[in-house]
A and B are shown apart, each in its own frame.
Chain A
Amino acid sequence: MNVHTGIGASILRKEDRRFITGKGNYVADIKRPDMVMGVFLRSPHAHALIKGIDIKVAAALPGVAAIFTGADLAADKVGGLPCAWGVSNADGKPMKEPPRSAMAVDKVRCVGDAVAFVIADTVEQAREAADAIEVDYEVLPAVVGVLDAIRPGAAAVFDDIPDNTCFDWECGDAKATAAAFKNAAHVAKISLVNNRLVGNPMEPRAAVAEYDAGRDHYTMWTTSQFPHVVKVLMGNFVLNIPQHKLRIVAPDVGGGFGVKQFLYAEEIITTWASRKVGRPVKWVNERSEGFLSDAHGRDHVSEAELALDETGKFLGLKVRTVANMGGYLSTFGPNIPTNLYGLLLAGVYTTPAIHCEVKGVFTNTVPVDAYRGAGRPEATFLLERLVDVAASEMKIDKAEIRRKNMIDASQYPYQTPVIVKYDSGDPKACLEKALEDSDWGGFAKRKEESKARGKLRGIGLCTYVEACGLAPSRIVQSLGARAGIFESATVRVHVTGDVTVLIGTHNHGQGHETTFAQIVSEKLSIPADKIEIVFGDTDRVQFGLGTYGSRSLAVGGTALAKATDKIIAKGAKIAAHMLEAGEGDIVFENGSFAVQGTDRSKSFGDVVGAAYGLVNFPVDVLEPGMEAQAFYDPVNFTYPGGAHIAEVEIDPECGSVDLVSYIAVDDIGTVINPMIVAGQLHGGIAQGVGQALFENCVYDETSGQMLSASFMDYCMPRADNMPNMEIVTLSTLCTHTSFGVKGCGEVGTIGSPATVINAVVDALSHLGVSHVDMPATPSRIWRIIHNSANQLRAAE
C-alpha cells in the first residue's frame, strides 16, 4: 500500500462528496410513486381529557385521503410504545410503567401529544384539514417542574400514580456514606438545577412508509440512529409485523445527538397508515413541532454534599436528585438519570463512600431521554461544581484539591463504590497537561489585564470520566436493559479484492464510512478507497444496535476487527492449500499470506481469487467464498476521561459572557482518525457550551405551554459564540476493545458545562457568588451582579 490509510491517518472523509454537492439522501428527500402526505394534529393543552374528536368537516376537504385518531389505532390493536429499560426502586419493587399509546386516546399529557393523523395529497391540504378537526378538550391542571409534581395535592399525570413518582432508585452504600460524614472536618453543599435541553439536530425527524400489498411487506425510511432496533420494537411489540416482512432504512441522517435513537409514535403511525390507505405515506417534522415531539434531555434538580477531612481529602458523597421523566416513559428514559448518572458519580476521584438517591417523576412535559452524554454530563456537572465549592470554602487551589483526590494511574483497574470498574486511565496526566497548556499559573495576570478593560475574567477547570460502549449484555440486563447490547459486522470480500463492510452501527456525522474503512485497511493492508461501509438498511445489514453512547468504534469497531480476523483465518487456510503448507505455518503480514520462515507467499488478491476461482479447490474441506460475520458483546464499558479548562470574560455592564479560550485534554484511547476525532470534540464542546451559556427549554409553569419552541426562542451557539478550541488527546489503551479505542463522541458535552460554569462562578466569586445555574445568560448574570452590588451597598 503506497499511502497509509490505516490507524492514525487523518485521511479525508469518503462520505463528504455527496454532502458538499447536495447529493445526500435524507428522508425528507425521498419520494415514492402515488405518495400522500401526513400531518399530525397535536394537543394545544398540557393536560386535558379528550371528550370527543369530530373529523366530519375535515374529512370532506379537498385531497384528504384519511384521518386517523387514537381510537382507530386501538380498534386495530396497535400496541403502545414500549419502554426498553426498566429500573427498580430501592426496595426492589419495579418502577411504575404506565402504558403509552402511539396516539392519545382519552387524555393528553403534554403540549404536542398527537391526537389525530391527517393524510392528504399535499401537506397544505393535510394542514388545512387538521385545522378543521374539532377536539373537545376538558382542560386539567398541569404540573411542569419536578418539585411541584411531587408536592401533596399536585395534579396527577396518571390517575393511578397519584404521587407522580415513577421510581425511587438508589445506588452506593448509605451506611458507609453516613459514617464518612460523621468523620468529616468539612462538608461542602450545593443545590443545583441541570436545565432541560432540546437536542435539535439540524435535520428534523421524518418518516416515509410504503406497504407492498403484493408481498404483504412494509418498508419504512426514517431518521433513526438505530434502524434495527426500530424494526424489532415496532414490528414485534407494536404492529405485529413479522421481521421478514419489515424493512427499515435510515439513509443519510442529519445529526442525532441521541434525539433520533428512540422508537417514535410517528414511525409507528406512518407505517400502520401506509397499509390502511394503500399508498406510501410521508411525514416530515416542522421545527416547532420537533420541539414538541423530539425527546428532551437533562432536567434534574439536585442536592449534594461532599464530606472532606481537614486536608481536603474526599471522604464521602451524598446525592439526592429528582429527575423529570416527562408525560410518558421514552424508550430508554428510566436508564438515563439512574445507571448513566449515579454510576458515574465517583468521577476520577478516590471517594471511598458514595450514596445516590434518584426519584423519577412524571410531569406534563415532553418525555425526557438520552441526549448527547446522557446522564454523564449531569453527574459531571454536579460533582465538579461541588468540588469547586469545597475548594473555595476550604481555600485550597482548585487544581490542587483535584490532584489530591485523583485516582493514580497505578491504581487501575479501579473499582468504584458505585458498581463500575474503570479498566484504564490516567486522570493526573490529563490534568497536568491541561494546567500546563492553559498557563493556569499565569491566570492572575490575565485577570488583571481584563480588569483594566473593565471586564471580569474567570477560569474554570473540570475533570470527568465517561462510560461508553454500553456493555456487557449480562451487566446491562442486570441494570434493567430488556435486550442484549452487542454489535455485528460482516466483511464481504468481492472476487476482485474490493471489500464491502455491513455494519450495525449508524453513521450520521461521525465519519464511520471513513473510520471503519481505516480499520479494515489496517488489518488487510488494502487502501481505504477499496472498502465501502454499508449501514442503516435492515435488508442489507443483518443485525445491529445502532449508534448512541459513543459505542460505534468501541463495540462496532471491535466486531468489525473480529470479522476481519475471520477473513484472515479463512485466507490462511486457502493460502496453505495454495502453497502446500500447513495452515499453522501461514502468517499474514503486509497484505500477504506467507509460509513462516520462507520466501513463499501469496498476495491477498491471489488468495481471494482462489476463494472464488476454485482452482483445484478441495471443496470437501474448504468452503469457497470470502465473507465473514462477527458479533461482539463487550466485556466492560470503556472509560474515556479528561480535563478541560476554559476562561471567560464577563462584561459587568450587560452581563454577557464571552468564552475566551477552551482547552480540552481527553484520554480517549487509540485514535483512528485524528481529524475526525478533533471534529467530534469541537462539536461536543460546543453543545456543552450551549447548555452552559445559551440553551434552555422553558415551560410556562402554570399552563405547561413551551415558551422556547423555535430557533428564535431556543438559543444555540453560532459561529461567533465559539472560540478556536485547543484539542489534545492522550491515549491510555482500553484493555478490552480492538486497538484500545474508548470513544469520543460525547466527551466534549460531558466536560464543557461544568468547565464553563466553573469559570463563570470564578469570575463572580469576589461578589460572594458560589453557584450560577445554567444557562448563564446575560440577564441572569446581570441580575446576579446587580443584586450582589445592592447587597454589598446595603451592608456598608
Chain B
Amino acid sequence: MNVEMTVNGKTVKADTSPSLLLSDFLRENLNLTGTHVGCDTSQCGACVVHIDGVSMKSCTLLAVTVDGKSVTTIEGLARTANADLHPMQLAFHHNHGLQCGFCTPGMIMSAVDFAKRTPNPTEGDVRHWLEGNICRCTGYQNIVAAVLAGAAAMQAQAGG
C-alpha cells in the first residue's frame, strides 16, 4: 500500500505492506534507529514518537495508518525547538536522567508531550504520566527530576 507522511520535516513516500508496524517502518525503511523496540506488547514505551505532535507508541501503529500525518522521532526533536538540542534532551543530560540510554528516546518523546499538556507539573503528575515507559536502570528518580526541569525550561522558552 502506498503511504505518504512527513517524518522529521521531510516528505516520505513508500509502498509498504499493510501489516508493517510504524516502529519497523522508521527503523528499517528510514534508518531512524533512535526509535527502539523493547517489548512487543506496548508496555515499555521505548518506541514513543509524535504523530501530529501527540506522543504514541509506534509499535502499536501500522505504518499505513499514519498516511498523511506528521511524524517526529527523537532524531527530529531538536528541530522542533530550533536548537542543537531540545530543552528536554538537555534536561535529561543535566539531571543524569539516563544510564544505558535504550529507553531514553521514548522517555524524552513522552516527556515532551507531557510538558506541553501540563503547564506546572508536580512530581506526582510526572510519575503518573510515565506509567507507560519502563526504565530498568535509573529507578526513575533522575528521570522525574529531568522531566520537571525540562518542562520548566520548555515553559520558559514558550513564555520568552
Contacts and interface: CB of A to CB of B under 8 A. Distances in A.
A, B co-complexed: yes
Interface of A: 12-13, 15-24, 26, 28-29, 31, 200-204, 252-257, 286-288, 508-511, 675-676, 678-687, 710-712, 716-720, 722, 724-725, 748
7 contacts: A16-B92, A21-B78, A202-B102, A679-B137, A679-B138, A679-B142, A719-B131
Contact of B143 (A29, A204, A252, A719): A719
Contacts of A680: 99
A684 B44 CA distance: 19
Contact of B135 (A24, A202, A288, A681): A202
A294 to B, nearest CB: 13
Contacts of A17: 93
B108 to A, nearest CB: 6
A125 to B, nearest CB: 12
The 9 closest A-B pairs by CB, nearest first: A22-B34, A19-B101, A254-B102, A509-B100, A682-B139, A686-B139, A22-B74, A509-B99, A711-B43
Nearest to B106: A202
Given A16-B92, A257-B136, A720 B41 contact: no
B37 A722 contact: no
Given A254-B36, A725-B141, 13 more contacts: A16-B92, A17-B93, A20-B89, A22-B74, A252-B101, A287-B40, A287-B44, A509-B99, A676-B96, A682-B138, A687-B136, A719-B144, A720-B128
Interface string B23-60: 00001000111111111110110100000000000000
Contacts of A24: 34, 101-102
A682 B141 contact: yes
Nearest to A685: B139
A287 B39 contact: yes
A541 to B, nearest CB: 20
Contacts of B73: 22
B7 interface: no
B96 A719 contact: no
B72 to A, nearest CB: 11
Interface string B91-110: 01110101111111100100
B151 interface: no
Contacts of B38: 202-204, 254, 287
A508 B141 CA distance: 19
B99 A719 contact: no
Nearest to A24: B101
Nearest to A26: B102
A719 B40 contact: no
B26 to A, nearest CB: 10
Given A22-B34, A719-B126, A725 B135 contact: no
Contact of B134 (A256, A684, A718): A718
Contact of B140 (A19, A255, A722): A722
Contacts of A717: 139-140
Contacts of A288: 40-41
B130 interface: yes
Contact of B100 (A204, A508, A720): A508
A21 B75 contact: yes
A15 B34 CA distance: 15
Nearest to B89: A20
B85 interface: yes
B36 A26 contact: yes
B13 interface: no
Nearest to A30: B33
A287 B40 CA distance: 6
Tell me whether chain B's interface is mostly helix, strand or loop, or mixed.
loop
B139 A203 contact: no
A16 B100 CA distance: 9
A122 to B, nearest CB: 9
B127 interface: yes
Nearest to B145: A724
B48 to A, nearest CB: 12
Nearest to A18: B101
A201 B33 CA distance: 18
Contacts of A254: 36, 38, 100-103
Interface residue range, chain B:
35 or more
A255 B41 contact: no
A509 B104 CA distance: 11
Given A21-B75, A22-B75, A718 B32 contact: no
Contacts of B32: 22
A287 B41 contact: yes
B134 to A, nearest CB: 6
A425 to B, nearest CB: 25
Contacts of B103: 202, 254
A20 B85 contact: yes
B46 A202 contact: yes
Contacts of B133: 718-719
B137 A711 contact: no
Contacts of B137: 202, 255, 509, 679, 683
Contacts of B108: 20
A22 B36 CA distance: 9
A200 B96 contact: no
A712 B99 contact: no
Q: Tell which of B124, B127, B136 has the most Cβ of chain A within 10 Å.
A: B136
Nearest to B20: A124
A507 to B, nearest CB: 9
B50 to A, nearest CB: 13
Contacts of B85: 20-21
A325 to B, nearest CB: 25
A623 to B, nearest CB: 40
B132 to A, nearest CB: 8
Contacts of A718: 130-131, 133-134, 140
A214 B40 CA distance: 39
Nearest to B144: A719
A242 B44 CA distance: 40
Contacts of A710: 39-41, 43
B151 to A, nearest CB: 14
A675 B141 contact: no
B141 A12 contact: no
Contacts of B124: 720
Contact of B94 (A12, A18, A19): A12
Contact of B96 (A13, A22, A255, A725): A13
Given A29-B33, A724-B141, A253 B44 contact: no
A720 B127 contact: yes
B7 to A, nearest CB: 13
B6 to A, nearest CB: 18
Given A21-B89, A22-B35, A511-B99, A202 B44 contact: yes
B136 A19 contact: no
A20 B78 CA distance: 10
A725 B101 CA distance: 21
A686 B140 contact: yes
Q: Tell which of B27, B138, B140 has the most Cβ of chain A within 10 Å.
A: B140
A48 to B, nearest CB: 26
Nearest to A286: B40
A13 B93 contact: yes
Q: Tell which of A202, A683, A684, A686 has the most Cβ of chain B within 10 Å.
A: A202
A682 B94 CA distance: 17
Contact of A679 (B27, B89, B96): B96
Nearest to A10: B96
A17 B31 CA distance: 19
Contacts of A200: 136
Nearest to B147: A719
A717 B141 CA distance: 12
A722 B126 CA distance: 12
Contacts of A510: 99
